[in-house]
Amino acid sequence: MSMAIDYKDYYKILGVPKTATDKDIKAAYRKLARQHHPDVNAGDKSAEDKFKDVGEAYDVLGDADKRAKYDQFGDQWKAYGSGGPTGGGGGAYQGDVNFGGFGAGGIDDFLSSLFGGAAGGGAAGGFGGFSQPSGRTRQTPRQVREDVEYPVEISLEEAFAGTTKSFTLSVPDTCGRCGGSGAVSSGKNKPCSMCAGTGKVKGNRGLFANNVCPQCGGTGQEVEVCPECHGDGTVIKKRRLTDIKIPAGVPDGQRIRLAGQGANGGDLYLKVIVRAHPQYERQGIDLYTDFVVPYTVAALGGEAPVETLSGRKVLNVPAGTQTGQTFRMGGLGMPDIKKKGTSGVLFARAKISVPKELSVRERDLLTELAKIRKDSVKA
């Protein structure tokens, strides 16, 4: 018989804030599931109810889609799409514990996800890193894939031409000592206190009958918190990446995805930071720069050199050029990363250069010119 459930605060049940990460939620779930497990609290109805609530809460908060609906719609979240903790339709919750979020394996998948290994089927997983009984195959527990962002700083010249980078970064990864379970054998050859050394447990009404013991992972031996990861299941590992290609024209803030290079098989995103340049100002694919024009060239017209990222170019300057006058040099801006083979514009701003010192001949000529123009100058 099914019955509608009242709204439950799943965050409160797991004891985590609404800002909790997937990792925080998983850690809280595993801790509470062990604490309220029916085989640890035989005959305690309240513990059994709490165990069910914990499982229900994780089924929702441990799934990104369900959590999003729950956060948005609260107690009406089930009405906004399938995949909620329902045994049928109409928002009903059926049975003792909902294992729908763990795939076709049902209870076995639930135990595997909860305690880090396979449940039943002749395999024992979970608290890896120590020897397994004969005939059992240790399985690596499910780890949460996490994307990682890493900043990479380059010069404007490197962004213009494209470059390759090699670097070492630190990312979280599955603990090799415990296989991600957070626990290892105590080494004291003592039987597990929960299953009395059998490696299997039986629960109320046969719910967990002949399934892998959650405390020892099916080994039958006493376990302890992994000294390598301190029970977290993950450790920080250094990873060397070589010859990573940064494409020509890459804009500041662009993210480059490296599939599978993040934490536990997640993706690594390189965030490109292009350093400011003392000579060039960048606006999209266009560049702005100043160039020096001798006062004689500015007055009479002629040629003046312009430094570009492609090398020095000569610009024809018309007579009467003024300071700040801008000249458009097409194709000398940044490469367009979206349109291969095209580039932006370099805008060159004239900066008139006047000599601080004059020869006698230069002074005489300029004085004569001032008289012709009737300019008021010092003799």
- What token pair was written down for 284? 């999209």
- Rounded to an integer, what distance in angstroms lies between the CA atom of residue 175 and that of residue 129? 9
Residue 196 has a CB neighbour count (10 Å cut-off) of: 12
The Cα–Cα gap between 10 and 56 comes to 8
> What residues form the annotated binding site for Zn(2+)?
175, 178, 192, 195, 213, 216, 226, 229
Owner of token pair 């729950």? 70
CA 68, distance to chain mean position in Å, is 19
Q: Give the strand pairing for 3-4 and 343-353.
A: unpaired
The tokens 């977290």 sit on which residue?
232
Both tokens of residue 40? 């640890």
Rounded distance between C-alpha atoms, residue 221 and residue 203, angstroms = 20
Using alpha carbons, select from 184, 52, 195 the residue that is nearest to residue 130: 184
DSSP 205: G
Tell me the CB-side half-sphere exposure of residue 181, using CA atoms within 13 A.
32
Cα angle value 69/73/79 (rounded, 5°): 75
Beta pairing class for 255-258 and 92-93:
unpaired
Question: How many C-beta atoms lie closer than 10 Å to residue 357's C-beta?
Answer: 6
83-to-54, 77, 105 alpha-carbon distances in Å: 18, 10, 16
Binding residues are 175, 178, 192, 195, 213, 216, 226, 229
